[in-house]
Structure 1
Amino acid sequence: MRSRYSAFVLDELDYLLATWQAGRRPATLEPNEPGRRWLGLEVRRHVPIDADQATVEFVARSKWGGRAVRLHEISRFVREDGRWFYVDGEQR
């Protein structure tokens, strides 16, 4: 989760796509809007479901256009061939 947040901050779109589960991966991603400033990540909870599935609850904060923005999500991850991949997320 932390590496994906860092990739969002740095607009490392190739890394984000590479860490997204293949069957759910979008074709492309848009970079951050000009002027968006990321302020931090709080990982609130990590819940292992089994050896190859887990959820992560997080809050990512940013500022854009003079407004504070908060992304609160519970993300699903799956391990395939020893690597973790983002599956999808439910915003809170």
Structure 2
Amino acid sequence: MSSVSSACPCGRTRSPGRPLPYAQCCGRYIGDFAGCPAPDAESLMRSRYTAFTREDAAYLLATWHPSHRPSALDFDTGAKWLGLEVRTHRATGPDAAEVEFVARWRVAGRAVRLHERSRFVREEGRWYYLMPCATDA
């Protein structure tokens, strides 16, 4: 678990080679969901990655759009999170966006890699994770 002064798990930097501390990055959104919503889809995606590293189901469920929100979440016990790479972030409308990312972790000695292009929507000033984009056939 990250302390407030340690580097944020999402990997966001303030300048090349200078990672943002958790408290100045995702920690402000995770720690104050009601008062400090993520300002854009990329920030929400990064904070959701960080919430996965912290096994924070409450934040993950709160930021999942109600139309696709699962009733509960399961975490990989003993997962070691290895990093996040945000590849693209683009607006698809005034209140819609897509974020392409790669998240990596290791569980039970096995490397796992999730490459996803996700859809996000903004409602009443708050961004929500909607779902993965349909893959091209």
Which sections of structure 2, spanning at least 5 residues, go unmatched? 1-44
Matched, 1:22 2:66: yes
SS at match of 1:22: coil
SS at match of 1:60: strand
Deviations 1:7-41 (A, max 9, x none): 000000010000011111111111x2222101110
Indicate the RMSD between aligned Cα atoms, in angstroms: 1.4
Deviations 1:34-86 (A, max 9, x none): 22101110000011101100000000000111121100001000000001000
For 1:41, the equivalent position in structure 2 comes to 84
What aligned pairs does 1:1-92 form with structure 2 within 5 A after superposition? Answer: 1-30=45-74, 32-90=75-133
Which sections of structure 1, spanning at least 5 residues, go unmatched? none
**Higher-Rg member (1/2):** 2
Q: Contact 1:75–1:88 (CA<8 Å) still a contact in 2? A: yes
Higher RCO (CA < 8 A, seq sep 6+): 1
Aligned residues: 91
If the length of structure 1 is used for normalisation, what is the TM-score?
0.93
Percent of residue pairs identical: 56
Distance of 2:87 and 2:134 partners within structure 1: 14
